Amino acid sequence: MLNECQFIGRCGQDIEIRYTTGGNAVGNVNIACSEKYTDKQGNKQENTEWIRLVFWGRLAEIMQQYTRKGSLIYVRGRMRSRSWEDRDGQKRYTTEVHVVNMLMLDTKSSGSQPPPPRDDMMPPGSKPATGPDNVGEPLPGHGEDEPLSEPVPPPASCPADDDDLPF
């Protein structure tokens, strides 16, 4: 089964960071994804959906350091639903996207300057954060000691212009 979501939107607020008892960062932020269209009467319409995002580990810390309310971001992740009981005993439900990849899309040429790094929210003596499912193991692609991978060239036995695709 496939459970993958992709969104481009603007942060509705600065990310809220908490730390698990194990010292792992977890952050929440909502993004606004807007769609503009013209209805049958020729009137311009806009529809905005708010998406709740969850960031884990180093990705949450990067979001805290470099994004602010209004930042334009691309995210890719998995949709998850959960339920809990509130203080009044009512059962509550939410659906969230657990982000596995994020790109900051704001550019200097668009008139917005990237915000200065924020170190004020990091707890003293905190250790690098890890993923939610594999405690003690960094999220794939987010380990601090992992070397950057180089693009793999195509094998020499497969010329790039010789394909047998029917289109």
The CATH number of residue 59's host domain is 2.40.50.140
Residue 123: pLDDT band (50, 70, 90) is: very low
Per-residue pLDDT averaged across 54-62, rounded?
95
131 part of a folded domain: no
Residue 93 gets which letter from DSSP? E
CA dihedral (82, 79, 99, 119) in degrees, to 10, reads -30
| Percent of the chain residues past pLDDT 90, beyond the cut | 63
- Give the count of domains, the chain: 1
pLDDT of residue 68 exceeding 70: yes
pLDDT of residue 89 exceeding 50: yes
Rounded to an integer, what distance in angstroms lies between the CA atom of residue 27 and that of residue 65?
Answer: 12
* Cβ burial, residue 29 (10 Å; 0-12/13-18/19+): buried
104 part of a folded domain: yes
Task: With 0.85 as the threshold, say if the pTM is over it.
Answer: no
31 part of a folded domain: yes
162 part of a folded domain: no
Question: Residue 32 sits in which domain range?
Answer: 5-110
pLDDT of residue 25 exceeding 60: yes
Cα–chain center distance at 62:
10
79 part of a folded domain: yes
Average pLDDT for the chain: 77
Least confident range from 13-17, 45-49, 109-113: namely 109-113
Q: What is the pLDDT of residue 30?
A: 97
pLDDT of residue 134 exceeding 90: no
Query: Locate tokens 């990067």: which residue?
Result: 62
Residue 121: pLDDT band (50, 70, 90) is: very low
135 part of a folded domain: no
Beta strand 44-56 with 25-38 is: antiparallel
Q: What is the pLDDT of residue 106?
A: 86
Per-residue pLDDT averaged across 162-166, rounded?
51
Quick check: 53 and 77 in contact, CB under 8 A? yes
Q: Going by C-beta distance under 8 Å and a sequence separation of 6 or more, which residues neighbour residue 141?
A: 101
Q: Going by C-beta distance under 8 Å and a sequence separation of 6 or more, which residues neighbour residue 80?
A: 54, 95, 96, 97, 98
| Percent of the chain residues past pLDDT 70, beyond the cut | 64
Of the two residues 119 and 4, the one the predictor is more confident about is: 4
45 part of a folded domain: yes
86 part of a folded domain: yes
Q: What is the pLDDT of residue 166?
A: 53
pLDDT of residue 138 exceeding 80: no
